[in-house]
Amino acid sequence: MSVRIGVVGLGRMGKLHCRVLSEMTQVELACVVDRDTELAAELARKYHTTALPDAPAAAEAVDAAVIAVPTVAHVEVARPFVLAGKPVLIEKPIATGSAEAEELLDLADQTGSTVHVGHTERFNPAVQAIRRFDIAPKFIEAHRISPFTFRSADIGVVLDIMIHDIDLVLMMVAAEPVQVQAVGVNVLGAPEDIANARLTFPTGCVANLTASRLAIKTERKMRIFSEQAYLSVDYAKRVGIVVKKSENLDLIQMARRMDAKDLAELALGVDYTKLVRFEELKIENTVEPLRQQAEAFCRSITDGAEPVVTGRQGLAAVRCAEAIIESIKSHPWDGSPTGRTGLDIIRKDVS
Tell me if 3-118 shares its fold with 123-238+283-287.
no
Q: Three-state SS for 290?
A: helix
pLDDT attached to residue 282 = 81
- Is 3.40.50.720 the CATH classification of the domain at 3-118? yes
How much is the pLDDT for 260? 66
Q: Which of 288, 166, 144, 147 minimizes the C-alpha distance to 222?
A: 144
- The model's pTM: 0.90
pLDDT for res 272: 66
Residues 6+ away with beta carbon under 8 Å from 237: none
How do the domains of the chain map onto residue ranges?
3-118, 123-238+283-287
Q: What's 27-54 look like in SS3?
A: EEEEEEECCCHHHHHHHHHHCCCEEECC
pLDDT the model gives residue 347 = 58
Residues of the chain with pLDDT under 70: 1, 252, 255, 259-263, 265-269, 272, 274, 336-339, 344-351
CATH H-level, domain 123-238+283-287: superfamily: Dihydrodipicolinate Reductase; domain 2 (3.30.360.10)
Q: What pLDDT shows up at residue 20?
A: 98
**What pLDDT, on a 0 to 100 scale, did the predictor assign at position 8?**
98
